[in-house]
Amino acid sequence: MDFKEITELVKLVNKSNLIELKIKDGDFEITLRTEKHGLSRSEEPVTTYITPATPAPAPAAPAAAPVVKQVDLPAEAPVVVTAEDAEAKIDYLEIRSPMVGTFYRSSSPDKPPYIKVGDTIQQGSVVCIIEAMKLFNEIESEITGRIAKVMVEDATPVEYDQVLFLVER
């Protein structure tokens, strides 16, 4: 049923003595209601569209709770600091993606990357390109420091606010 046919139905119901009209045709259903015979006319005819119901997705199985086992260590146990632990304690600044798109480290595949690990950058330095909707956007650093780590692979999708680079002060 198209809009013109529905409009004609509304006019017919308003002119007739009908109080309610229901029409079902496959997945399409329409119900028109009016108040007649001196009753209040506060509501216009109501049109209701019902689409076929889709079954609700099955609930996910609950994840098993992790088993935690407490182990008592001797008081003299030596503390071992790995390189990863030392790196984790360094206070890095982050350069984050200002948009959703595809991350590129250089302006073209045959050009060198804008920056590499160990490079010192200044505020306003171009650090990468993010392609969004066929537009290539140069991303500039808002901080000054030394690039410690590139967090994203070249030519991969990035999300808004995703960390792109870690920078040492």
Task: Look at residue 5 in the predicted model and tell me its pLDDT.
Answer: 77
> Under DSSP, is residue 85 helix (H, G, I), strand (E, B) or coil?
helix
- The pLDDT of residue 89 is 59
What CA–CA distance (Å, rounded) separates 142 from 121?
10
pLDDT score of 169 more than 70: yes
According to the model, what pLDDT value does residue 77 have?
47
Identify the CA nearest to 150 among candidates 98, 111, 97.
97
Q: How confident is the model at residue 6 (pLDDT cuts 50, 70, 90)?
A: confident
Q: Which residue did the predictor score with more confidence, 159 or 34?
A: 159
Angle of CA points 53, 44, 51, to nearest 5°: 10
pLDDT single digits (tens) 32-54: 777 655 544 444 555 555 555 55
pLDDT band at 61 (very low <50, low <70, confident <90, very high): low
Q: For the segment 111-152, what is each residue's pLDDT rounded down to a tens digit?
A: 999 999 999 999 999 999 999 999 999 999 999 999 999 999
List the single range of 5-9, 64-68, 111-115, 147-151 with lowest mean pLDDT.
64-68
Question: Contacts from 157-162 at CB under 8 Å and sequence distance 24+?
Answer: 157/100, 157/101, 157/102, 157/103, 158/97, 158/100, 158/101, 158/102, 158/103, 158/130, 159/97, 159/100, 160/97, 160/98, 160/99, 160/100, 161/96, 161/97, 162/96, 162/97
| Burial environment of residue 141 by CB neighbours within 10 A (0 to 12, 13 to 18, 19 or more) | buried
Residue 81 pLDDT more than 60? no
Which domains does the chain carry? 1-53 (no CATH), 89-168 (2.40.50.100)
Looking at residue 94, its pLDDT comes to 95
Reduce the DSSP state of residue 150 to 3 states and report it: strand
What tens digit of pLDDT does each residue of 11-30 get?
777 777 777 778 787 777 77
Q: What is the pLDDT of residue 79?
A: 46
